[in-house]
Structures are given as C-alpha cells and as structure tokens.
C-alpha cells in the first residue's frame, strides 16, 4: 500500500497552466501570512512572473494527477522579486491599492517588504527555499521532505554549497521540520511585527 502511494506521486516543474492552482493553494493554506494578505489576484500575477524567472523555479508535487503541494526555490530571490515587481509595476500596484483600501494596516507590511528586498539578509547565502506549501489533508506524509530533497538536487547540480529558509519563530512544527532536515539557526530578524528564524543548511 505504501509502495503504491509512493509510485503515484510525481514532482515536476510547474507551467503557466498551474498558476491558478498553486495560487489557490498558497492563498488557502498559508492564510495569515503576508503574500496571501495581498489577495489571490496578486498571487496569480506573482507566480506568472516567477515561472518566467530563470533564477527561480517552482516544483509541484502531484498524487494521482491532483496537486498536493509545491515549493518555490531561488538562486537569488531578492533579485528575482525586484525584477518581477519592476517589470509588472502597474499591475501589482492596482492589486496592492485594492487591498490597502480594504485594510490600511497592510501599507506598513508592504514598506517593510520593499526595504527587506532592498537590503537582504547580511551574512546569509543568496540561494533560498522561498515557499513550501502542502494542502492540510496531505501533511505529515513526507511530501514536504520529498520537495526539499528535489530542491537540493537542483542546488547541488548548480554548485550551491548552502541555502537558507525563513521561518516564523513561533511555528514550532515548521522549525522542527527544518531541524530534522539538517538546518541550523543562523540569526533572527523582525518583520511584519513577527520574529523569523533564518535557518541555513550546508549541502
């Protein structure tokens, strides 16, 4: 039974046809985080841009042809994010204005994001696991582990020696997940009124 489940899973690169699905999964499963607060339309535009970025890639995990989770990895997400926003400034601005009109407190988070992407995190590698998302009913089945291993294959093939991930410091399961994968805490930063652990793994 376990063997058949394993064989039915597949990890592949996403295409533009997957944008709505991964945006929906991100919006529903990671609600409460910054990007979903900007709305589903913003996420769709962001993922359309990310798919075109050579230095950033998105892996989808499917089981029986159904999307169960995805991962975003990047060799330098700071640069990719800045380029996407710059190239699609008008479209992103429209979505941001809509959400700020509904919730003015978002403006502070948007400014923090722009400053964060401008400065980056000193002393940390540019390669990064940006987002990992597994649908709630499929969690604790090793899917996240499979996606991370696939990400590490890509990094190793490109000569990456270490990479980082940012995790909310109060999310114990997430921090334990990365600790089990061999990540070590490098530092802690404050953004969006929360504390985030910057974890690094050597490959």
CATH number at residue 184: 3.40.630.30
Confidence (pLDDT) at 121: 62
Q: What confidence score (pLDDT) does residue 3 get? A: 40
- Confidence at residue 13, expressed as pLDDT on a 0 to 100 scale: 94
| Per-residue pLDDT at 118 | 56
Residues 6+ apart with CB under 8 A from 34: 109, 113, 192
Query: What's the rounded Cα separation, in Å, for the pair 1 and 10?
Result: 17
Distance CA 3, CA 5 (A): 5
| Over residues 81-92, mean pLDDT | 85
Tokens of 113: 């994001």
Residue 90, pLDDT score: 83
Structural domain count of the chain = 1
Stretch 42-57: mean pLDDT: 92
In this prediction the pTM is: 0.87
pLDDT for 170 equals 80
What pLDDT digit, counting tens, does each position of 127-155 carry? Answer: 999 999 999 888 888 999 999 999 999 99
Domain that holds residue 21: 2-202
30 Cβ contact list (under 8 Å, min separation 6): 36, 131, 133
Pairing of strands 162-168, 194-202: antiparallel
Condensed to tens digits (0 to 9), the pLDDT of residues 160-193 reads 999 999 998 887 888 999 999 999 999 888 877 7
């Amino acid at each position: 039974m376990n063997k058949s489940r394993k064989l039915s899973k597949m990890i592949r690169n996403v295409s533009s046809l997957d944008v709505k699905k991964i945006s929906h999964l991100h919006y529903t499963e990671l609600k409460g985080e910054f990007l979903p607060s900007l709305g589903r339309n913003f996420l769709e535009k962001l993922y359309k841009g990310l798919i075109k970025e050579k230095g950033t890639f998105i892996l989808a995990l499917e089981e029986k042809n159904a999307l169960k989770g995805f991962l975003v990895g990047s060799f330098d997400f700071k640069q990719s994010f800045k380029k996407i926003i710059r190239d699609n400034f008008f479209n992103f601005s429209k979505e941001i204005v809509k959400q700020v009109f509904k919730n003015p407190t978002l403006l502070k988070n948007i400014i923090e994001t722009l400053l964060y992407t401008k400065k980056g995190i000193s002393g940390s590698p540019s390669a990064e696991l940006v987002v990992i998302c597994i649908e709630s009913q499929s969690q604790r089945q090793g899917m996240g582990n499979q996606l991370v291993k696939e990400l590490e294959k890509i990094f190793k093939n490109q000569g990456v020696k270490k990479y980082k991930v940012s995790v909310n410091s109060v999310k114990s399961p997430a921090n334990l997940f990365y600790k089990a994968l061999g990540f070590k805490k490098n530092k802690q930063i404050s953004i969006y009124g929360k504390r985030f652990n910057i974890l690094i793994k050597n490959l």
